[in-house]
């Protein structure tokens, strides 16, 4: 009995601490949001050369497979090459300079889409940075795209950012490893070439809208709900009011119009696609997508970029917002809270096992 009492007091203390931590985290999060609003636009551009990353992976496994004698010879040769590169850099000359032309650059931008296409702002900044230096004659942009789609207007804006690259005449390649469906495919179709992994999900060229209606429930409980509008089509369907057949027809007409715009958008950017055959809302996996011309090649993004390293410098470009002090404190508090809760759950589970 005493054990149960002590354990109950322990849980009460833990619960008090968790509640206090949640309140503190909420206050910090609110301050962080205000800080972000006050410092909108602040951040930094992250540039990472992927050639070096892939080269280090290759050298790492090569070194482990070599004998001691081979490794010493390889290390000696490597130091010699590095010394020659540094000497060339000091003199201001590079092998490409001697040939009278600069090296090709492949700029890599990542987009991980949610229903609101929240990554659009960072995409916009990265595209602006790349377009300020990209040479249409030599360079290429690769968008590593993952998205199942979402809001029409949000993905319309994200697609428009990629259209900026296309309008500048810079070759654009979309790499899809997992999914580019609906709004995600709207973005992918902008590219001059779409590369997808064998089981990536593509397509879903359609429009969907759904909402519950509680009118009969409210009516059954004698609850009135009125919808007042100025304009015949201001509100066609409602969640709580009574929906009419006329309202449904107008809503369906709007969906059809949006679908028509979607099809036009895809057709203009992929003229070789039989839009009527694929714009039924269905999805295709990589190989099947290739058969219906939704994509141009079966290949993972890693494979494509490793091959691109032989053509030039592969550079990852991303824009990251600077975290304010409240945001950093919020992340630290969140991590501490998660760790505490996990320890409590683990202790409780172990107690049950014993």
Catalytic sites, residue numbers = 182, 234
Residues 6+ apart with CB under 8 A from 154: 115, 116, 117, 120, 183
Contact between 233 and 257 (Cβ < 8 Å): no
Report the DSSP pairing between strands 193-196 and 172-176: parallel
Helix or strand or coil: residue 284? strand
Report the sign of the C-alpha dihedral through residues 55, 57, 60, 65, in that order. negative
User: Rg of the Cα trace of the chain?
Assistant: 28
DSSP 115: T
**Cβ atoms of residues 117 and 150 within 8 Å:** yes
Q: Which of 1, 51, 10 is nearest to 316 (CA)?
A: 51
Helices (H), 39-142: 50-65, 68-91, 95-98, 120-131
Stretch (H or E) spanning 106: strand 104-112
Token pair 């789609």 is found at: 149
The total of other beta-carbon atoms located within 10 Å of residue 162's CB is 25
DSSP 182: T
């Amino acid at each position: 009995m005493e054990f149960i009492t002590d354990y109950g007091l322990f849980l009460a203390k833990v619960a008090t601490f968790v509640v206090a931590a949640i309140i503190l985290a909420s206050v910090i999060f609110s301050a962080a949001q205000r800080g972000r609003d006050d410092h909108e636009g602040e951040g930094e551009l992250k540039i990472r050369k992927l050639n070096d990353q892939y080269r280090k992976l290759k050298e790492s496994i090569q070194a482990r497979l070599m004998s001691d004698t081979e490794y010493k010879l390889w290390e000696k040769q490597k130091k010699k090459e590095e010394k020659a590169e540094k000497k060339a850099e000091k003199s201001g000359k590079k092998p490409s300079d001697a040939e009278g032309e600069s090296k090709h650059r492949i700029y890599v931008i990542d987009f991980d889409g949610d229903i609101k296409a929240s990554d659009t702002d960072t995409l916009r900044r990265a595209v602006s940075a790349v377009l300020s230096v990209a040479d249409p004659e030599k360079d290429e942009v690769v968008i590593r795209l993952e998205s199942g789609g979402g809001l029409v207007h949000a993905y319309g804006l994200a697609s428009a950012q990629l259209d900026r690259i296309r309008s500048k005449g810079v070759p654009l390649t979309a790499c899809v490893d997992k999914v580019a469906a609906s709004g995600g495919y709207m973005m992918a179709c902008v590219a001059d070439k779409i590369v997808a992994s064998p089981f990536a999900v593509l397509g879903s060229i359609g429009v969907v809208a759904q909402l519950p209606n509680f009118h009969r429930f409210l009516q059954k409980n004698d609850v009135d709900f009125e919808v007042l509008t100025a304009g015949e089509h201001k509100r066609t369907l409602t969640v709580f009011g009574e929906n009419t057949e006329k309202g449904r027809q107008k809503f369906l007409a709007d969906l059809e119009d949006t679908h028509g715009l979607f099809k036009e958008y895809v057709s203009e950017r992929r003229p070789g696609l039989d839009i009527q055959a694929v714009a039924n809302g269905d999805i295709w996996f990589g190989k099947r997508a290739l058969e219906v011309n939704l994509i141009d090649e079966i290949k993972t993004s890693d494979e494509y970029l490793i091959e691109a390293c032989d053509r030039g410098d592969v550079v990852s470009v991303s824009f990251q917002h600077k975290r304010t002090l409240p945001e950093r404190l919020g992340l630290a508090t969140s991590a501490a809270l998660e760790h505490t809760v996990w320890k409590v759950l683990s202790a409780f589970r172990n107690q049950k096992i014993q």
